[in-house]
Amino acid sequence: MKSFFKYLFASILGVLISLFLAFLIMMGIVSAIASSSDKPVSVKDNSILYIKLDKEIVDRANDNPFAGFNPGTLQPKTSLGLNKILKALNNAKDDPHIKGILMEIDAVNAGAATTEEIRNALLKFKESGKFIYSYSDTYSQKAYYLASVSDSVFLNPEGMVEWLGLRSQIMFFKNALDKLGVEPQIIRHGKFKSAVEPFMLDKMSPANREQTMTYLSSIWNCWVDGISASRNISSADLNRMANNMEILNAKACLNNKLIDGLIYKDELIDFLKTKLGISDKKDLTVVKLEKYFKAPEVVKKKFSKDKIAVIYAQGEIGMGEGSDDNIGSDGLSRAIRKARRDSSVKAIVFRVNSPGGSALASEVIWREVDLAAKVKPVIVSMGDYAASGGYYISAPATEIVASPTTITGSIGVFGLFFNYGKALDKKLGINVDVVKTNDHADFFSSFRSMTEEERSVGQLLIEGTYQSFIGHVSEGRQIPVERVDEIGQGRVWSGVNAKEIKLVDNFGGLTDAITLAAQKANLENYRLIELPEQKSPVEELIKEMTGEARAALLHNELGDGYKYFNCLKSMMQNQGVQARLPYNVEVY
């Protein structure tokens, strides 16, 4: 028996030592990867900055090498940060080693406003006199909108440019819920507050169709005008091409002057070598955009104790800490409070890219933004979306800057509760019985319908939240409450329309908002800090190895269908009082 315990304890000790050593090795690997990711990149002379944009573009990507790590494939799911793209393009403009840009883009995984900001940065790059060339086997509409700024746009001889107009499509779940026996119980304010339509209708309401057509047309006109100015093609001709499907082959693209040449990749390389004076036997010197993120700054600012805090709010709004993809009221409020209390932070740029979410969480964040705006300039920079709850948290700002193609407004509130009682009874034979001390103790039960009395109380709750919402907007924007109610009602607006009705002040992107913040704070020299602070490599790795792993595996299985699963899951989880976009808006 003594021998048994002796060997048992020895085995346990051996396992513990092995685990400890494995942990030390893992920490060493983490440290090595983290340190190597911070090393600056040396850019050779006569280089071309190569831009692919084949990853999702978010406002701020996680710098952590383990962010998005997929334990199933042992590969990270990386994204591109708009903040770094803009910084890199501005740096390349002044970098004597960079002679020009080559873009090879077939699609852009970003929203309309993000695409607009990148395009504007490319136009500023061109002011340096350096070249921009574009090449692709096929151009999507967003890709072509970016490529149109180029000195020359090249296409594969068998390629095409997709130029058909914009669309937004919505998936409706009503018939599926009817078959399952699930009853959506809906309370809302505003004829345009159509976030709940997918659960109560099988097609768009006339009001929803009207608002969707309005902002789609606004975005389309912005794209048409931009391409018209860059390519010297009339807006009428561009619309005619789209309506008649005239340019769905390469030769038609060339004949209609959308492109400048039909060439193969090897011919493009020869063209660039000639442009840079490189012999046929030598290779082009190319630096990829992601690598150039780590290039040293060409124009260095003097060190300053004065700071501008750029605070990122991206994703749906909910309670709690939040994450890289979602806004948590606690985590974001803490970041705003930190910037407000820091005397060295002279101004705040609040970057909002959100379709909204929980009304209560939005109120918590609104309070911190309101307090901050009372003591220092707070400039809101709207991204692709800053709607409903996203507008709620923007309203107290000193000024609001948005892209013409930003989707904003949606000032409205709704309540959504699902009743699964019939589904359990009829489909599974499960009954739910209840004992209660008072008549309405099970008011928010998921197993019965609301009574008329309860629905009336729920409507009062929605109306109270809506009044708070329009009151905050009225105070922040200095617009009469009656006017806010008139332009509210849950209606969605483009940036162009929002500026006309004074929901935003100026057009511009993140860089413009930072410049405006510096002006408001009377700063000539300053440095930027970004909040909320991102997780350490160890924290990120642990997170990705646990809960995030399940989501990654499901994403791999469902592919493009994951977004529909995520939409339904989000709405199921976000029951209660909501201030969010009418649906997940995607512009194609």
Chain position carrying tokens 């914009």: 166
Beta-strand pair 576-580/356-358? antiparallel
47-163+247-292 and 307-418+475-580 have identical folds: yes
Res. 352 pLDDT band, cuts 50 70 90: very high
Query: What per-residue confidence (pLDDT) applies to 81?
Result: 96
For 322, which DSSP code?
Answer: B
Question: CA torsion sign, 553 to 556 to 559 to 563?
Answer: positive
**CB contact at 8 A, 166 and 213:** no
**CB contact at 8 A, 467 and 484:** no
Assess if CATH 3.90.226.10 describes domain 307-418+475-580. yes
Chain position carrying tokens 């991102």: 534
**CB contact at 8 A, 550 and 569:** no
The domain segmentation of the chain, as residue ranges, is 47-163+247-292, 307-418+475-580
Q: Which residues of 269-279 are buried (b: 16+ CB within 10 A; e: fewer)?
A: bebbbeebebe
Res. 548 pLDDT band, cuts 50 70 90: low
**CB contact at 8 A, 515 and 39:** no
Q: Using the predicted structure, report yes or no on whether residue 4 has a pLDDT greater than 70.
A: no
Instruction: Give φ, ψ of 160 to 5 degrees.
Output: -155, 160
Q: Average pLDDT in the 39-68 region?
A: 86
CA angle 377, 380, 385 (to 5 degrees): 170
- What is the value of pTM for the model shown? 0.86
Res. 186 pLDDT band, cuts 50 70 90: confident
CA distances from 475 to 367, 462, 468, 480, 490 (A): 13, 20, 10, 8, 18
Beta-strand pair 183-189/413-419? antiparallel
Coil, helix or strand for 419?
strand
Cα pseudo-dihedral 293, 295, 300, 302, rounded to 10? 80
Query: What per-residue confidence (pLDDT) applies to 28?
Result: 55
Cβ within 8 Å of residue 501, ≥6 positions away: 487, 493
Tens-digit pLDDT profile for residues 409-427: 999 998 888 888 888 888 7
**CB contact at 8 A, 513 and 380:** yes
- Residues labelled as active-site residues: 193, 388
Coil, helix or strand for 145?
helix
- Please state whether 165 falls in left (phi above 0), alpha (psi between -120 and 50) or beta: left
Distance CA 297, CA 542 (A): 33
Chain position carrying tokens 């921009």: 132
Assess if CATH 3.40.50.1820 describes domain 47-163+247-292. no
Tens-digit pLDDT profile for residues 88-98: 999 999 999 99
Coil, helix or strand for 97?
coil
Q: Using the predicted structure, report yes or no on whether residue 5 has a pLDDT greater than 80.
A: no
